[in-house]
Structures are given as structure tokens and as C-alpha cells.
Amino acid sequence: MMDEDVVNQWSNGLFQLTREIKKVTKFAEESNQLIDIFATYPDFIDIASSSNLTTELRKLIIIDTFQNRIEPYLLNFFLLLIDQHQFRYVRLILKEFRKICNEYHDIHYGIIYSVVKLSSQQIKQIQVKIEKIINYKIEVVNKVDESLIGGIKVKVQNQVFDGSIKGQIERLKSQLLNHE
């Protein structure tokens, strides 16, 4: 089975569960936090997926780490991933799950690229401004891209709002080349 198939099956299964128990929003919020945690600590996924450790030990690591910190259904979901030797895909599954939840709530996903990490207040201000321009709700995350030199670039679906210095330089270059 391809990685993409695994991710789609597990994320859709998790979504169906959350709809049945009427906790889509709660699980979507927790998945956002877990995506960030797993991005910050990728070694955790490696350890919990390691074939050098027994399944029981890997499950104990998951339980010790997450019990009473996340929804019990989500904890059980992680344990199922361990049982099925699929925990290495947990971050991808959660990201796809988030995407499905956003579609369910008619929320579009966007990325704010900046040279430095933005504060949550800055992210919220940018999100509100972009929502007014495109006229629909978005959820954004901030990714650092030092190649921008300065400013920000926002990508929502197929739209790009480029206020970066790199983008301005590219536009100037294009204008100069077109006038030759």
C-alpha cells in the first residue's frame, strides 16, 4: 500500500469517528497542536515507530506522553497506529485530517511565509486582512523562509499575496526585462 493511501485511509477514518461522536472541532484543534509538537520533536515519531522497540514499549511511550493530555479516542487512535506499524505517518495523517476538517467547516488553509517566526497576534492580523480580501474564512500557519529577504508572502489555495522584498525585486526585474 502506498504512503498516500495509508494517510488517506487513516485520516478519513479519524474524521468519520469525530463526526460520529460530534467532536470534529475539538479533534481539529488538538490535531493542530499535535502537528506542531511532532514537527518540533520529529525524533519522537522515530522512537514510537522504531522496530528496535517492542510494540508494548512503544505503546507505553505513547500512553505516558499523551494520557490525560489529549482526547482518549485520539490516544487510542495513536495506539492503533502503533499496532498497525503506521505511526511513522502520524504527522501526515493529522495534517490530512486537519485539511478534511477545514473542508467540512468550509475553512480554507493558507501559509504565511516570513523571514522570522511571527507572533500569534501578527498571524491573526494578517489572517483577518486576507479573509477580507478573499471573502472566505481561512486558517493560516507561519513558515519561515529566509530567502524572502524581508516582508511576507501569503499563499491560500491558488492565490499568492506577495509582499516580500524578494517578490518586489522579481517584479522589478520582470518590468525591466520587458522594457528592453
User: Cα 92 vs. chain centroid, distance in angstroms?
Assistant: 8
- Quick one: what percent of the chain has pLDDT higher than 70? 98
Q: What mean pLDDT is reported for the chain? A: 92
Contact yes or no for 77/14 (Cβ under 8 A):
yes
Contact residues for 95 (Cβ-Cβ < 8 A; gap 6+): 35
Question: What pLDDT sits at residue 2?
Answer: 58
> What is the band of 76 on the pLDDT scale with cuts at 50, 70, 90?
very high
pTM: 0.73
Residue 35: predicted pLDDT: 94
Compute the average pLDDT of residues 30-51: 95
Would you say 6 and 86 are in contact if contact means Cβ atoms under 8 Å apart? yes
Per-residue model confidence (pLDDT) at position 145:
92
Compute the average pLDDT of residues 114-140: 93
Region 10-27 average pLDDT: 96
Residue 58 near residue 50 (C-beta atoms within 8 A): yes
For residue 8, pLDDT over 90 is answered with yes
